[in-house]
Structure formats: structure tokens, C-alpha cells
Amino acid sequence: MAKQTIEVLSGVGEIYAGERLLRSTTYHLEVSSELPAPLSSVATVVEGSIDITGMPEAVVLAGADGLTLRLEDGRTVPFTLGSTLGRINVHGGLPPSPRYSSR
């Protein structure tokens, strides 16, 4: 299935376990839609990575549930560490950007 990139996000975010801040790290996320998608719904995929260089707790993060990445724009995404190279598996997609939300 082909993918079309919708949004690319990079910056410095914070990793939380529950409400506890573990550390700040750089991140890179790519949001894409899978084509062809049914007209009634758009299937989106979020792929990403975090910098785990010098992160001794990466081994612990690899088996942890309940991790959240807070992006620079304030959005949060639940994730699990998918590899020892820093690939992350984002769960539940990416919430809408706060700069585009109506007030």
C-alpha cells in the first residue's frame, strides 16, 4: 500500500512514564496516510524515532508500557520503544495540532 506524507514533526520533547518526567530528547515523527483509503475514513500512520544516544535507561524503556512523548507544540502521544536504535511505535495516532483547533 502506498503512503502519502501529511506532516513531519521534529524537535525536542519530553518522555513521561505516567506523570513522571524521565528525560528530554529529540524526536522525529512522520504522519502519513495509506493510499488508497476508503472515502469514509483516512487511515493514518505515525512512524517516528527518538534520540536514545547515551540513554542508559533505554533498556528499561524498551519493556515499558505507559510511555508518553510530549511534543514541542504541546501534543502528547503514547508510544513504546520499538528498537534499540530509537524507533518508536506511536499508539492511537497523532492528535490535531493545537494551532489549528477552534476555540
List for the chain the helix, strand, coil content (%; round to 5): 10, 50, 40
Q: State the pTM of this model.
A: 0.79
* CB neighbour list of residue 1: distance below 8 Å, 6 or more residues apart: 34, 35, 36
What share of the chain has pLDDT > 90, as a percent? Answer: 37
10-53 pLDDT, tens digit each: 999 999 988 888 889 999 999 988 766 565 556 788 999 999 88
User: Domain boundaries in the chain?
Assistant: 2-95
